[in-house]
C-alpha cells in the first residue's frame, strides 16, 4: 500500500481542528502527522493541550492524543516537520483576527505549503478560489496565477465558503448546470449552534429562544456570486444578474443548517418534475473522480412531506450529502423547497477535506 500524504492541522485544539482530526481518522489518502495551535499549547501533547475540551463523539485516538503540539506561528517547526516527512500541506483552522490569519496563511504558502483554509479571511482575496468542488472545481486553475503573482513556488491558498450556504448552492448549481438561469433567491436559514464553535452560542440565547444572525446574511448573499462566477485570465468575475436575500436565524439544533428557499428562474422554467429529475441526476467532478469524501449523490431528494429534518438527515452519506425536500411551486417566484446540510462536515471540515482531495486529484497536492 502506498504511503499516505502527511498533513498538518493549524488550530488543532479548536472545534474545527478537532473535527478535521476526527474526520481524517482512517482517511485513505491523508494522515494527520503535525499539529499546531497557539503558543500556550506548544510543547504539550495534544491531550494535554486539549485539557478535556475534546468535543467530538468519536473518541480521540491514542496516536493523536500523544502527538506533540507545535506553535502555529513557528514556521521553522513546520518546515522541520516537512523535512521529516510529516507535513506536506496544511488545513488551516486558526482562531486569529483577519489580518493575523492572512499573515499566517501567506507565510505558510510562501514557505511552500499548500494551505487548505477553513477561515474566512482570504475569501475575497482576488486570486484565492472559494471552493465547493461540485460547483467550481475549475477555480483551482487560478493557482498558477496566484503563485506567480505572489512569487510562491509550491505553496498556495484555497478557501471554503461560509458554512450556511451549501444546502442551497448545490441545488441551485444543479439547475444552472442543466441550463436554467436562476435570477432570484429568497433564503431563510435555521442554523445549528455548532456553527459558532465552542463555547460559541450562549444557552440562554437558544433554550426556549431564537436569535438572529446579521453577520451571516451578508456572507450568504455575496459568496454565491464568487463561487458561481467565472475564472478569466487568472481573475474571478462574479456572477452577475442573481439577486439574493437572506434571513439567518440560530435555533436549538446541535448540527445541521436548514434553509427555506424560494427561487425565481429566467425565461426558461423547468417543471417541478424536471427539477427533481435534475437534482437526482446531478453529479460533479468529485463524483466522477470518486474522491473519498464525495457523496455518491450530492443532492438527496426526499419525497416524504416532513423531510428533510436536521437530526434525521444531516448524517446522510458521510454527512456530505445535501438533503432537499418539500419541492413545490412558489406563489411569488417559481419554486420553493427546503434544503439541509451538516454544517461542520459538508459546511466546514468535510468540505475542506473534499477541497484537498480535489487538489490531490488535480496534482496540486502530493
Positions marked active-site: 163, 257
Taking a C-beta distance cutoff of 8 angstroms, is the pair 360, 290 a contact? Answer: no
Taking a C-beta distance cutoff of 8 angstroms, is the pair 292, 357 a contact? Answer: yes
Q: Which stretch binds a second copy (CB under 8 A): 70-78, 92-100, 120-128, 299-307?
A: 299-307
Q: Considering only residues 42, 251, 285, 289, which one is a binding residue for a second copy as defined by CB under 8 A?
A: 251
**Positive or negative: CA dihedral 112, 133, 14, 106:** positive
* HSE (side-chain half, CA atoms, 13 Å) at 220: 28
Number of residues that bind a second copy (CB under 8 A): 59
d(C-alpha 261, C-alpha 242), whole Å: 14
297 touches a second copy (CB under 8 A)? no
266 touches a second copy (CB under 8 A)? no
d(C-alpha 12, C-alpha 44), whole Å: 12
Q: At its nearest, how many Å lie between a second copy and the CB of residue 186?
A: 5
237: phi then psi, degrees, rounded to nearest 5: -115, 120
210 touches a second copy (CB under 8 A)? yes
Taking a C-beta distance cutoff of 8 angstroms, is the pair 327, 259 a contact? Answer: no
Q: Considering only CA atoms, which of 193, 12, 39, 244 is closest in space to residue 118?
A: 12
97 touches a second copy (CB under 8 A)? no
DSSP letter, residue 40: G
Within a 10 A sphere around the Cβ of 331, how many other Cβ atoms? Answer: 7
243 touches a second copy (CB under 8 A)? yes
23 touches a second copy (CB under 8 A)? no
Binding mask 57-76 for a second copy (x = CB under 8 A): x-x-----------------
110 touches a second copy (CB under 8 A)? no
296 touches a second copy (CB under 8 A)? no
147 touches a second copy (CB under 8 A)? no
Between CA 88 and CA 355, with CA 285 as vertex, the angle to 5 degrees is 30
Q: At its nearest, how many Å lie between a second copy and the CB of residue 106?
A: 32
Q: Which stretch binds a second copy (CB under 8 A): 36-44, 192-200, 267-275, 277-285?
A: 192-200
Q: Which stretch binds a second copy (CB under 8 A): 85-93, 140-148, 149-157, 187-195?
A: 187-195
165 touches a second copy (CB under 8 A)? no
DSSP-based three-state secondary structure for 115: strand
Please name the residue that has the C-alpha cell 426558461: 268
d(C-alpha 166, C-alpha 346), whole Å: 7
* HSE (side-chain half, CA atoms, 13 Å) at 124: 6
208 vs 273, beta carbon nearer a second copy = 208
Please name the residue that has the C-alpha cell 492541522: 9
Q: At its nearest, how many Å lie between a second copy and the CB of residue 347?
A: 16
Q: Which stretch binds a second copy (CB under 8 A): 98-106, 133-141, 205-213, 273-281?
A: 205-213
Q: Considering only residues 13, 70, 338, 343, which one is a binding residue for a second copy as defined by CB under 8 A?
A: 338
26 touches a second copy (CB under 8 A)? no
Binding site for a second copy (CB under 8 A): 52, 55-57, 59, 184-186, 188, 190, 193-194, 198-212, 214, 221, 243-245, 247, 249, 251-254, 258, 260, 262, 304-307, 309-313, 315-316, 326, 330-333, 336, 338
Amino acid at each position: 500500500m502506498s504511503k499516505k500524504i502527511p498533513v498538518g492541522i493549524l488550530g488543532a485544539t479548536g472545534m474545527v481542528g478537532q473535527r478535521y482530526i476526527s474526520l481524517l481518522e482512517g482517511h485513505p489518502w491523508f494522515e494527520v502527522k503535525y499539529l499546531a495551535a497557539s503558543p500556550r499549547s506548544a510543547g504539550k501533547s495534544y491531550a494535554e493541550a486539549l485539557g478535556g475540551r475534546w468535543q467530538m463523539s468519536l473518541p480521540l485516538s491514542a496516536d493523536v492524543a500523544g502527538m506533540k503540539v507545535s506553535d502555529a506561528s513557528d514556521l521553522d517547526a513546520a518546515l522541520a516537520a516537512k523535512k521529516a516527512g510529516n507535513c506536506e500541506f496544511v488545513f488551516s483552522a486558526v482562531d486569529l483576527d483577519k489580518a493575523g490569519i492572512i499573515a499566517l496563511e501567506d507565510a505558510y504558502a510562501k514557505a511552500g505549503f499548500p494551505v487548505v483554509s477553513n477561515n474566512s479571511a482570504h475569501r475575497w482575496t482576488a486570486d484565492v478560489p472559494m471552493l465547493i468542488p461540485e460547483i467550481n472545481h475549475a477555480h483551482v486553475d487560478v493557482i498558477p496565477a496566484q503563485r506567480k503573482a505572489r512569487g510562491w513556488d509550491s505553496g498556495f491558498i484555497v478557501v471554503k465558503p461560509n458554512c450556511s450556504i451549501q444546502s442551497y448552492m448545490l441545488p441551485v448549481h444543479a439547475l444552472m448546470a442543466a441550463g436554467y438561469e436562476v435570477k432570484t433567491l429568497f433564503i431563510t436559514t435555521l442554523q445549528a449552534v455548532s456553527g459558532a464553535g465552542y463555547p460559541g452560542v450562549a444557552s440562554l440565547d437558544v433554550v426556549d429562544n431564537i436569535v438572529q444572525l446579521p453577520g451571516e446574511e451578508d456572507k450568504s448573499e455575496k459568496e454565491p456570486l464568487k463561487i458561481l462566477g467565472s475564472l478569466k485570465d487568472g481573475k474571478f468575475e462574479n456572477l452577475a444578474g442573481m439577486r439574493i436575500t437572506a434571513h439567518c436565524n440560530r435555533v436549538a439544533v446541535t448540527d445541521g443548517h436548514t434553509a427555506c428557499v424560494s427561487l425565481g428562474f429566467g425565461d426558461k422554467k423547468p417543471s417541478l418534475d424536471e427539477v427533481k429529475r435534475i437534482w437526482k441526476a446531478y453529479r460533479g467532478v468529485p463524483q466522477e473522480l470518486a474522491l473519498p469524501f464525495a457523496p455518491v449523490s450530492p443532492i438527496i431528494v426526499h419525497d416524504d412531506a416532513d423531510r428533510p429534518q436536521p437530526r434525521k438527515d444531516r448524517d446522510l452519506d458521510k454527512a456530505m450529502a445535501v438533503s432537499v425536500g418539500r419541492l413545490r411551486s412558489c406563489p411569488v417566484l417559481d419554486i420553493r423547497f427546503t434544503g439541509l446540510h451538516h454544517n461542520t462536515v459538508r459546511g466546514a471540515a468535510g468540505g475542506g477535506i473534499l477541497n484537498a482531495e480535489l487538489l490531490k486529484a488535480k496534482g496540486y497536492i502530493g
